[in-house]
Amino acid sequence: MKRAVPAHAEARDDHHILSELARRMGLENAFTEGLSSEQWLERLYRENAERVTALGITLPSFEQFWAQGLIDLAPHDVPHVMHAEFRRNPELHPLATPSGKIEIFSQRIAAFALEDCPGYPVWREPFEWLGHPSAAHFPLHAVHRGEGLTRLKIGFDGRSARRSALSLRRRGG
């Protein structure tokens, strides 16, 4: 996006930083595909403009968007209701389950007889999470927030780092 203020000191944008890391690993061309940060913005904009055309939304050219600085998509906002047709008429619009309804128990999954995968919802403690004892030593945690396989959020539980720093200070370290 457009810079709001000039970069401070040696600050770089994400594309520059990640491109440099990729270069050091010998993967620069695979990462950048030969495109600059600005070229990636334009490419992603054009690809998205093509996709939303199928939804009846016409976006201005990238150049027009860049000059304007924003696009008001509020007129196209329609609340998404999960399984709206099913909710309106479950018999006319059944779900893709054996019963055509919401199923809490699945005989199909239960029939696999897998110890770690019963036919009903269960919570299993993940191997790696902030509640795990190892998080006391490794408070940096990658969290997937249901945004697809291409996005990852990084979280840092700074409390343990602050506690360590305070205890060092108290001990004169």
53-86 pLDDT, tens per residue? Answer: 998 899 999 999 999 988 998 888 888 899 999 9
Residue 89 token pair: 């008429």
pLDDT tens per residue, range 79-114: 889 999 999 999 999 999 999 999 999 998 999 999
Check pLDDT > 70 for residue 38. Answer: yes
pLDDT of residue 145: 58
First to last CA, the chain: 44
pLDDT of residue 85: 95
Q: Where along the chain do its domains lie? A: 79-124, 128-173
